[in-house]
Amino acid sequence: MNHITLDSSLHWPPYEKVKKHLLVIQINLQRAKIATTMLLKAAQQHQPDLFLVQKPHVKDGKITGIPKCWKCWLSKSGKAGITALPTCSTPVVLSAKENTMAIKITKNSKAFTIISSHFSPYANFREILEELTDLTTNINGEEYLIGGDFNAHSQRWGYRDENSKGKQLQEFIAEKHIFLLNSSNSPPTFEHNNRQGWPDLTMVSSHSLAAICEQPFPSYLHRFNLRTHDNCSCGGKGDPMHYATKCRFTLSWHFQTPTVSLKLQWLKNILTNNLSRTRLRLLLRFICDENYLIVEDNN
Ligand SMILES: [Zn+2]
């Protein structure tokens, strides 16, 4: 599940505009009831405006298990969908193609195109990339976000190997100057028994959007060249781990530092424990509200 926050003003820093943000959650349902339950829980907890959904369980052209008052659109294959919660005002359908579903929304009088896609392992990869090309060339330089299950392998988003789909997708990303939000050390988006995978990717049309979609940490700003270095103003390296365990500004919400080998378990424990989740939420709110404190760029 990927959380994406869009700020329609595209200005940095985001703390000025944080209440006007649009929250999008991307989730691969794997046609499973339990995943739909997770979606409903996430809706309650994070109150997003939109879900980008892949592989939903569909009955009579509708995603099963979601509230009737949510709007919902599906690609022709039924494997890529978007649902809009009542908080999302004026979503307009752009197109429903075989493997992609696209809508347009307006936030603070700025238009965004939101695309959900599903690349079946058996479909012609080129054809689906052409669907995406059509969609993104016809919107005249407006900002867009693509969330999809691409079934493509590359080290760039976490796999240990690269296949021909992975190569084609990277060429597409480079050609269109798209910004991929997943990084090579992103945790797997899919886990079952002992298998892991990174099929689910999120990409956006511009680097300012990319920086805003990421959490407001100096390490990300540096990665997208919006900042000359990635230090926190306390002097430490300003990555998420720093704020969760070390930074003196966030002392009240610190978690115990995990050992390297237990890091994944440590993350899971935090996400499954109510108290830890609350602390994490307070920590993130503090970082958003007091952003000037930690990302001050002295250069
Ligand atoms: Zn610090």
Distance 203 CA to ligand 1 centre (A): 28
From-to residues of CATH 3.60.10.10 in the chain: 22-214
Instruction: For 22-214, give the CATH class.
Output: alpha beta
Distance 108 CA to ligand 1 centre (A): 32
Distance 15 CA to ligand 1 centre (A): 18
Distance 238 CA to ligand 1 centre (A): 6
The answer to whether residues 291 and 15 touch, using CB atoms and an 8 Å cutoff, is yes
pLDDT in tens, the chain (299 residues): 555 555 433 333 333 333 356 778 888 898 888 888 888 988 887 778 899 999 999 988 889 999 999 999 999 999 999 999 988 878 999 999 999 999 998 877 778 899 999 998 888 999 999 999 999 988 877 889 999 999 999 999 989 999 999 999 999 999 988 888 888 877 788 878 888 889 999 888 876 666 556 555 666 555 655 567 777 878 888 777 888 888 888 888 888 887 777 777 887 787 788 888 788 878 877 776 666 666 555 44
Three-state SS for 70? coil
pTM (2 decimals)? 0.70
DSSP per-residue string spanning 120-131: -TTS-HHHHHHH
DSSP 223: H
* Separation CA 212–CA 210 (nearest Å): 5
